[in-house]
Amino acid sequence: MNYKKLTKSLIAQLREARYQLENYDASLQRQSDISYETERRLTNKLNLLREEQAREKEEQEYQEWQRKDTLKDLERAKEWGNKYDEERCLERLRRF
């Protein structure tokens, strides 16, 4: 048996295995980086959507408050018989 050839063959196989492991490790690192970046982007998008939803809710609450306030002003204007304020309140209500 030729030990020199066997040794060279084993060394070549070890080098090939190490090369494949390095490639596999690099591939795993790239996938990990891509996953991390995707998670970061999705988290940012989720936060933006939550902020937008909160702003929309706040805007709706504000508009509802304005509408109720306008209705109170309209009732008050009717009680006092103030036609000018009534018209103004009705015009504001039409905008909602």
pLDDT reported for residue 33: 97
Check: pTM over 0.75? Answer yes or no: no
Confidence band for 18, pLDDT divided at 50, 70 and 90: very high
pLDDT reported for residue 95: 86
pLDDT tens digits along 51-75:
999 999 999 999 999 999 999 999 9
What torsion do the CA atoms of 62, 65, 67, 69 make, to the nearest 10 degrees? -140
